[in-house]
Structure 1
Amino acid sequence: MAGGIKVVQDTMINLLTNYPFYGALATSMQVVSAADFPYAAVKAGMPPVLYVNPDSLQGLRAPERLGVFIHELLHLILLHFGRQSGRDQKLWNIACDLAVNQLVLRGGEKNVTLPCDAITVHSLEKDLGIDLPRNAGAEVYYDILDKHLPRLKITVVNNQIKVELNVNGEKREYTASQILEGDDSNLDKELMKGYLNKLIEQAKQVGSMPGHLEVVLKDLYAPPQVDWRRVLRRFLAGRGKMLNQQTWLKESRRFEGFPGRSKRVGMTALLAIDTSGSISDNDLQVFLNEIRAVSKITGTKVWVTQCDVEPTAPIELKRFVKNPRFTGRGGTDFRPVFKMADEMHVPLVIYLTDGYGTAPEIVHQRVLWVLTKDHRVPADYGTSVVLGVS
């Protein structure tokens, strides 16, 4: 066991030294020794858990151990635990391994490989005698495997999936890992996605993400393509304080000839505009026109502040739209805006930004991130929409 533990430690050091992006991801996880798994496994959670079997890992070469660790990390950040959607679990695991193992080997590093019995696109298409697409997602491979299921004998032995098939009377055997969900069957997939996105961004500060992986993750972690105008209207239509106002549009029920009373729901929101330079004047004008129209319909009072590092004093929306001018154009820190919202006791914050900046760990408001086309999601809380998608 002592030798096995040293092997795990050496592999972590190797990742941090030579593959710092993956090393940073691995060190953000809880590492647990477990003899129940052939080599390693991951489980979604906050933090995620990386299970390792020190004794079995000791039997692998160093490049294979690196490949096993990267393989498991990829399962996690590719959200395979939350994409099964009713598919057969064993077949889904095999499809995920086909997708992941390509990414492990695609970097072309000489010092990273996989155990010899790991299932790959190249080996499976050769033995099945079919063409398999390269660099596809797990869903694509699942549909193909499902069509050839009668030719595959799939079993689970010691928490490892075994795939057998007959090739001209000769038995071929491959292995695939099992993907674990968190202990909580009601694990919030979107919350977990936001949490992992944050870990990925932190890991990118330590080491560069492989280019081929960045292409895959960009689409996977992109905010849903929804009409931002519809989301904005829904966001500002929540219940606020009931306002009683005097109006001459109707007569008082109690006193003839006197003004009546009107009741309406009033919300208060703080609109923060990122002035770091990512928002065009045209985008700003389109957004201001929409939020002004929505605020009139919903009775929302909107305060506007501009912020790069420090926010400007808030002014009412109707005053700001008369002469919208940017100030600042420096870096971005989101935290002062939320501090201002706390001091103003504002329940809603709308942030128009590219998302590149420092967000607070915890906020006390409902948050709508309205993001520019080239963006990153700044936090794992709130709702994110992309400006221009309609």
Structure 2
Amino acid sequence: MSPGLAGIRAEIDAAARDLLIREPYYGHLLVGMIRLVTDGDAGIRLVPAGPAPGLAVSAAGWADLSPAARTACLRHELLHLTLKHPLRASAYGSLQLWGLACDLVVNQLCDTAALPGAVTVADVGLPPGRTADDYYAMLREPYTRACQGGDPDGSAGDGPADEVVAAVRAWLDGPAARCHEAWRDFAALPAATLATFTHGVETLLATTVRRATVRGWGPLPAELVEILELVIRPPQVPWRRVLRMFGATSERTRLRTTLSRPSARYGTSPGVRVRRSSRLVVAVDTSGSVAAADLTAFFSEIHAMWRRGVEVTVLEADVSVHREYRYRGRPPETVSGRGGTGFDPAIRRANELGHDGLVYLTDGFAPRPAVASRTPLLWVLTAGDSVQDLSHLPGRRVRLTGRNG
């Protein structure tokens, strides 16, 4: 390594030590990663490196940044890693649009004053607090226009919509978009390698959170703390056993080709591998009788299901279904409802969706449902009165212990 690159590596190490003191979570996460110094001006970016994602820093890009901008860029990329954004890139048709949507999420969790080319939800006229999937859907039309250079017919305008297009185009032409170009390498990874990377990131995050929280969370925003707490909060329900028991009739099996081993029957490649998965509807009781701590416990259990590879569709419901969305690893900032309790609307909607099973997270205080579930039904009850009569709830029942509260 040349002296110039060695000096940059020393500066990165110094930045990591500074973060360890000022913002321990980012410091421990950076120290635990593979860090590469490269030639060129590609900036600071996440790249596949060995058995897990690494952080690549280009020599010219680092030299052009002020100390504040360097820290801002490091923090920005570490947040992308925390939320596993590059590991999800293969599921999206436009990697550029996915990168933009992810930036809108990450930039709500950090100070963007010193971040080169930063884009915020205010710049594109979108509401805060949404997921990257929401922003991806909301920005399809402005992104298409920005890629075309203006309106679809080639004309230019000066309305609010055109200001959004201009903001998207500025992001596409700026340094932030270039830093996401390496996400194409993540999208091209084989499924087995991607699974290994994901496990490696989850292990790194768990280790980082345990080390960083010895003296508290520090200056991390509450939204990020809530996400990180899910990493270290053990589920109160043994989902491996419960889902195996509950999902005996609700688990789907599919065959996938694999190059990792030859066919057992013919000795040729590719062989096949059996993959089992479940699609579950999870109804969350958002009535007024459910405490905020219980809602936190509910989403901790949802996160545990999701980590086990379950495709989760969440229904937020009290006497009606207020919201329906796919859970992707991040709990909502708020829930809708807080009225009375009725089980029928959520069960009826679950029947319409036709997924493999229904899990109902509730305190159980409502009349017996009149609508019968057409799929296996599991009731997960809050850690309340252990002598509460639950005989009116048809199907299997488990109760949270409350030990993690």
Q: Using structure 2 for the length normalisation, give the TM-score.
A: 0.46
Q: Using structure 1 for the length normalisation, give the TM-score.
A: 0.48
Which structure: larger Rg?
1
